[in-house]
Amino acid sequence: MNWGNKLLLTFVVFACGIFYLVYRAMHVETELVSQEYYKDELKYQQVIDGTNSANGLSAKVLITQKQDSITVQMPVEMKKAKVSGSIWFYCASDAKKDKHVAIELNSEAVQLIDKKLFRPGNYTVKFDWDNNDKHYHTEEPLTIL
């Protein structure tokens, strides 16, 4: 085999390698935190203000796990108060594990969530709630076993 054929073979192998890499790159799944990223970014000031409001409360939101449930304990100020909002269990590694739960507190500011709704993994639990026309936001890490 002469040097011209070797050079041509090298270019063909290189081109095949590039086409293979392009093919593989086109089939990689990418997940965004939110499908409406730009709209959420414009509302981020609400998150900052809600975090400041939540930091002013007497205690943080507490999350504990039991065998069959997840217990959410809101701060004392939320006892017997009209609270509306949502809890977002955000899993960074798999968007299919994400869950949204409406806040439904009892008179002691506690909510029980069935653990069967979730698959094991690491979550960031994002709380967004309103009370007396004031917005609150806080985030807590949680590993569901």
| 14 and 53 within one domain | no
Whole-model pTM above 0.85?
no
How many independent structural domains does the chain possess? 2
Cα separation, 63 vs 49, in Å, equals 22
Segments forming the whole domain that contains residue 132: 37-144
| 130 and 105 within one domain | yes
The answer to whether 75 and 58 have CB atoms below 8 angstroms apart is: yes
pLDDT of residue 11: 96
Q: Tens digit of pLDDT for each residue in 55-88? A: 998 889 999 998 889 999 999 888 878 889 999 9
| 13 and 82 within one domain | no
Residue 47's CB is within 10 A of a number of other CB atoms, namely 16
| 23 and 50 within one domain | no
